[in-house]
Amino acid sequence: MFDMGDMGKMLQGFEANAQKLKDELAKKTFSVKSGGGMIELTLNGNGEVIDLNIDDELLEDKESLQILLIGAINDANNMVQQNQQQSALGMLGDVNPFSGVK
């Protein structure tokens, strides 16, 4: 028979693991360079921008600046998303909700 108390404990475990994962991701950083290093963008593992450096030469070329920023943002977001997926799969791999079910 399925015990609802076990279900509650399992959900609490998932919530605790999710918060732990979020905290661990916030400590990671991902940096990308665009335009031969003219733009450097750094995000944390939660996808939050924590640093942005723009070469002074780009400040006079709005179109190039926009193109390079878009490329850097997309590359950094892809890196973060891949890491989040791998981390979440790793977390789920540690939890088997069916281990006690017969």
Domains of the chain: residue spans and CATH: 27-92 (3.30.1310.10)
Give 53-78 pLDDT, tens digit per residue. 999 999 999 999 999 999 999 999 99
Q: How far apart are CA 34 and CA 75, in angstroms?
A: 9
Give 22-42 pLDDT, tens digit per residue. 888 888 999 999 999 999 999
**Which is nearest to 29 in space by CA: 79, 89, 78, 70?**
79
pTM of the full predicted structure? Answer: 0.68
